[in-house]
Structure 1
């Protein structure tokens, strides 16, 4: 298979790609999303495999790293498209990046009936950067599952993917989950962060699997979910700041768990 050159904005495939690049609704409906840049594309090749479609700009083909990726896709019979720089940049949200994109299928996973291993529960976390950072920290801490309530930002949006830096490919991510029902049937402790809690993170035994529950950037975890949690905890801090950003809070929690586990090994 060889590369196909598209030079017209009116090309039907290009119009489809533009729709995917600019519309979350289109990505959800198609069950596809875009990976933008060398790092994410390489991570996908290493952790998942070949994408349905590879796209590069004309200038990017002069980059040796891009050439390796494109040739790998061609040799494996993956469709490859080359675009003029201007057309490519209308698809990409990365400024001053290296112009390569993958179109990938977003996973369709069957939600497990019970929580048995350490996991992350996200209640209406809406900022793509926060979501991606949480996934990245969770993956680094060895956590394998993320459960997202309705109202949480789309897990597979290009912005979330960039913030996750490839962590998505190491995780099982479930969307539109009824967190109340999931917590009710959990077989492990559910720990919710709250700036109003009295119990400290560092007072808990985290050497066994737990489910971490984090909430909306401004409103936190909803009251009915807080009431279902096994523990409500706060993260002590010394400065005159009411609370930490949700992505920072999650990282502190995950790595306190890592610290306790590794201290016993």
Structure 2
């Protein structure tokens, strides 16, 4: 294990820059996974990280010690930091004290939609994006396509909200959704509060592409016009609409229900 004790260390400065800047993460093609659960899940599903960063006090935690032991057995790169330096990098308040530096996958759309997928049009809240990813993974959906205006999927807030879902999904970012929808070989369903067709009246026993939009404006009009179905989720009570993440979860698990019925 290498130990860094100086704030002026070039490697430490790079870690701190990555932790605090979405632009830096995008440019480097790397991000940080903060916390035991994310690190354990990455090890299980994806393998070795580029680097493990651990705080001095966290080495006494049995779960952290197990992670470090697995990495050192594979001769992976582990860096120790004094607690004060680690806490200045970590975005998690009162965290356990372990994080992974990983490469973020870069995927290019090469084929039309043919399996169940999620399309996110300008969904800007990281918590909503992470929750949608988590629900999609739980429902057995594997592909997620994000427009340029959607929150960066590999940001710390999205990663924490998704709870490891990233590692079982194929995530495409900065996608032009219009050609994807128009060229789809499967039905595309856009949610809209103005739709007349109820979600529960649509046959979801085959692959579909779910299209969800901005928290305030919803799906853009041009995409709505391209979707094969516009659906609404009926709801009771004096509220205008559902949160987009809640809406997505209802849609995904109505599809699961129909396929298991």
- 1:112 Cα deviation (Å)? 3.0
Q: Distance in 2 between matches of 1:143 and 1:52?
A: 27
Structure 1 residue aligned with 2:121: 123
**Structure 2 matches for 1:231-246, cutoff 5 A?**
231-246=229-244
Q: Distance in 1 between matches of 2:250 and 2:89?
A: 35
User: 1:176-224, CA deviations, whole angstroms, 9 ceiling, x for partnerless residues?
Assistant: 1110010111000000000111110000000000000000011100000
Q: Distance in 2 between matches of 1:229 and 1:91?
A: 43
Q: Distance in 1 between matches of 2:125 and 2:110?
A: 26
Report the aligned-residue RMSD.
0.6
TM-score of the two chains, using structure 2 as the length reference: 0.99
Q: Distance in 2 between matches of 1:94 and 1:255?
A: 31
Given the alignment of the two structures, is residue 151 of structure 1 paired with residue 149 of structure 2, yes or no? yes
TM-score of the two chains, using structure 1 as the length reference: 0.97
Given the alignment of the two structures, is residue 220 of structure 1 paired with residue 218 of structure 2, yes or no? yes
Q: Distance in 2 between matches of 1:237 and 1:112?
A: 38
Q: Distance in 1 between matches of 2:233 and 2:67?
A: 43
Structure 1 segments (4+ residues) deviating >3 Å: none
Structure 2 residue aligned with 1:56: 54
> Residue 33 of structure 1 is aligned with which of 28, 31, 34?
31
Q: Distance in 2 between matches of 1:210 and 1:128?
A: 24
- Secondary structure of the residue aligned to 2:89 is coil
The unaligned stretches of length 5 or more in structure 1 are none
Q: Distance in 1 between matches of 2:177 and 2:109?
A: 11
Q: Distance in 1 between matches of 2:89 and 2:201?
A: 48
The unaligned stretches of length 5 or more in structure 2 are none
User: 1:110-168, CA deviations, whole angstroms, 9 ceiling, x for partnerless residues?
Assistant: 31320000000000011110000000000000000000011111110111000000000
